[in-house]
C-alpha cells in the first residue's frame, strides 16, 4: 500500500485513538454524568455545559471529533458511553438515524418549543439552534440588497461567485432544498447555471469566500450567517473581510431563506437517559438559547429570545417553511447532481 493510500486510514485510526483516550470509563458512564459526542468545537459549546452543570449539578463529559462519531457509536453498541450526539447540519442528524444509533425523544417541553419543521417526525432529532445560508456581497461592487437563490444562476453573475465545495454538507443542504422546491431536472439546470457563474474552482470555507470577495476575486460569496459575525467581532485578522462585504438574506422564489440547524440526538443505548433528557430540555431553555445567540451567533430555536445585534443587523429572517426532513430526503439526489454537472471540477 502506498503512503498516499495509507495516510487517510492512519488519520482515521488516530482520530479514534484520540477519542478513546478520553472516553469516560464504564463507571463514569453509569454515574449520572451526561456523555456527549459532538462534531462542534468544544470551545463553542463548553459555556453551555458549564452553565448546565452550574444549574443542575450534573457533569457533562465531551468527546469532540471531525468525523466518524455515528460509526463509533454503532461499533460500541450497547456498551457505548454516549448519551447524546450534538451536531450541526440536517445531513449529519439524519446520518445518525440511518446508522441506527438514535432513539425517539419524547418530551412535551421540547414539542412546545421546537416546531415540527425543525424536528424529526418520529422524534429521533430536535433542532436546538438555527443558521441561514446567505450571500456575502461586495459593498463596493454590488448595489442590490435583495436576491433569490434562483438568481445566483443568472448569467449576469458570470465569473462573479465564490463558494466552497458543492459536496460540503452546508451546500448539500441548500442544493437539496432546491431539489425539493423545483424538482431534480430544474435543480440540475440551476446547478449548471451556478457553476457557469463561478469565478474560480470551489475551495476553502465560508470565511475564505468573504476573503475572496474582499480581494476582488468575486462579487458574491455563499456562506453561513454566523461566520460573518465571527469575522467581524472575534477575529481582527479577518475583520477586513467582513467590513468589505454585506450580508444579504436570499430567499427562494415564493419562499423564504434556507435555514439549517444545530441539533441533538438521544443515543440508542444512552446509559444516563434521564439526565441526558434534562440536558436536551435545558438546551432549548431561555438561558441556553441566549448563549447560542450571543456566543455562537446563531438564531435561537426558542421564540422570544433576542437575536444577537450583529445577526439582527442582516435584516429580519423569513425562514423558508420547507421541513428539514424533506430537505434531508433529497440530500443524496443533490450530491449526485453535484457530480453530474462537475460542480467541483
Instruction: Give per-residue pLDDT as tens, 259-298.
Output: 999 999 999 999 999 999 999 999 999 999 999 999 999 9
Closest-CA residue to 283 (of 303, 258, 300, 271): 300
Q: Convert the pLDDT of each residue in 37-94 to its tens digit.
A: 999 888 889 999 999 999 999 999 999 998 899 999 999 999 999 999 999 899 999 9
CATH 3.40.190.10 domain span(s) along the chain: 3-130+260-312, 131-258+321-340
Residue ranges of the alpha helices (H) in the chain? 3-22, 26-29, 42-56, 69-76, 90-98, 108-113, 169-182, 184-196, 206-214, 225-234, 239-243, 273-283, 286-295, 309-312, 324-328, 331-340
Q: Convert the pLDDT of each residue in 298-338 to its tens digit.
A: 999 999 999 999 999 999 999 999 999 999 999 999 999 99
Closest-CA residue to 52 (of 291, 328, 294, 301): 291
As a whole number of angstroms, the distance between CA 232 and CA 223 comes to 14
301: number of CA atoms within 13 Å, CB side? 27
Q: What per-residue confidence (pLDDT) applies to 4? A: 33
- Please tell me the CATH superfamily of domain 131-258+321-340, with its number: Periplasmic binding protein-like II (3.40.190.10)
Give Cα 240 to chain centroid, integer Å.
25
Q: What per-residue confidence (pLDDT) applies to 198? A: 98
Q: What per-residue confidence (pLDDT) applies to 299? A: 98
Q: What per-residue confidence (pLDDT) applies to 41? A: 83
- Find all residues with CB under 8 Å of 188, minimum gap 6, and list them: 337, 340, 341
Q: Does 3 have pLDDT greater than 70?
A: no
Question: Percent of the chain at pLDDT above 70?
Answer: 91
The stretch 190-212 carries a mean pLDDT of 97
Q: What per-residue confidence (pLDDT) applies to 143? A: 96
Q: pTM of the entire structure?
A: 0.88
Fold exhibited by the domain 3-130+260-312: D-Maltodextrin-Binding Protein; domain 2 (3.40.190)
Q: From residue 232, give the alpha-carbon distance in Å to each of 144, 240, 246, 297.
A: 22, 8, 11, 11
Amino acid at each position: 500500500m502506498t503512503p498516499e493510500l495509507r495516510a487517510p486510514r492512519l488519520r482515521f485510526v488516530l482520530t479514534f485513538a484520540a477519542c478513546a483516550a478520553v472516553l469516560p470509563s464504564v463507571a463514569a458512564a453509569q454515574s449520572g454524568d451526561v456523555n456527549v459526542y459532538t462534531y462542534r468545537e468544544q470551545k463553542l459549546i463548553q459555556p453551555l455545559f458549564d452553565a448546565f452543570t452550574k444549574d443542575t449539578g450534573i457533569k457533562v463529559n465531551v468527546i469532540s471529533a471531525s468525523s466518524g462519531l455515528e460509526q463509533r457509536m454503532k461499533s460500541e453498541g450497547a456498551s457505548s458511553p454516549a448519551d447524546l450526539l450534538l451536531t450541526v447540519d440536517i445531513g449529519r442528524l439524519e446520518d445518525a438515524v440511518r446508522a441506527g444509533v438514535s432513539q425517539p425523544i419524547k418530551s412535551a417541553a421540547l414539542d412546545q418549543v421546537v416546531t415540527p419543521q425543525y424536528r424529526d417526525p418520529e422524534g429521533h432529532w430536535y433542532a436546538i439552534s438555527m443558521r441561514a445560508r446567505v450571500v456575502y456581497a461586495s459593498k463596493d461592487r454590488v448595489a442590490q440588497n435583495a436576491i433569490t437563490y434562483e438568481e445566483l444562476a443568472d448569467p449576469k453573475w458570470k465569473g462573479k461567485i465564490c463558494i466552497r465545495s458543492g459536496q460540503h454538507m452546508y451546500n448539500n443542504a441548500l442544493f437539496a432544498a432546491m431539489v425539493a422546491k423545483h424538482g431534480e431536472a430544474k435543480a440540475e439546470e440551476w446547478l449548471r447555471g451556478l457553476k457557469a457563474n463561478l469565478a474560480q474552482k470551489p475551495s476553502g470555507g465560508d470565511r475564505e469566500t468573504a476573503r475572496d470577495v474582499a480581494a476582488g476575486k468575486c462579487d458574491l460569496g455563499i456562506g453561513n450567517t454566523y461566520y460573518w459575525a465571527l469575522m467581524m467581532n472575534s477575529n481582527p485578522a479577518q475583520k477586513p473581510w467582513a467590513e468589505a462585504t454585506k450580508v444579504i438574506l436570499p430567499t427562494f422564489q415564493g419562499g423564504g431563506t434556507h435555514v439549517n440547524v444545530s441539533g441533538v440526538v438521544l443515543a440508542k443505548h444512552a446509559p444516563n437517559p434521564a439526565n441526558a433528557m434534562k440536558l436536551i430540555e435545558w438546551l432549548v431553555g431561555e438561558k441556553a438559547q441566549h448563549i447560542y445567540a450571543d456566543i455562537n451567533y446563531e438564531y435561537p430555536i426558542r421564540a422570544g429570545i433576542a437575536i444577537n445585534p450583529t445577526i439582527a443587523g442582516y435584516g429580519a429572517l423569513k425562514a423558508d417553511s420547507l421541513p428539514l426532513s424533506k430537505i434531508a430526503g433529497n440530500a443524496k439526489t443533490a450530491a449526485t447532481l453535484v457530480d453530474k454537472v462537475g460542480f467541483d471540477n
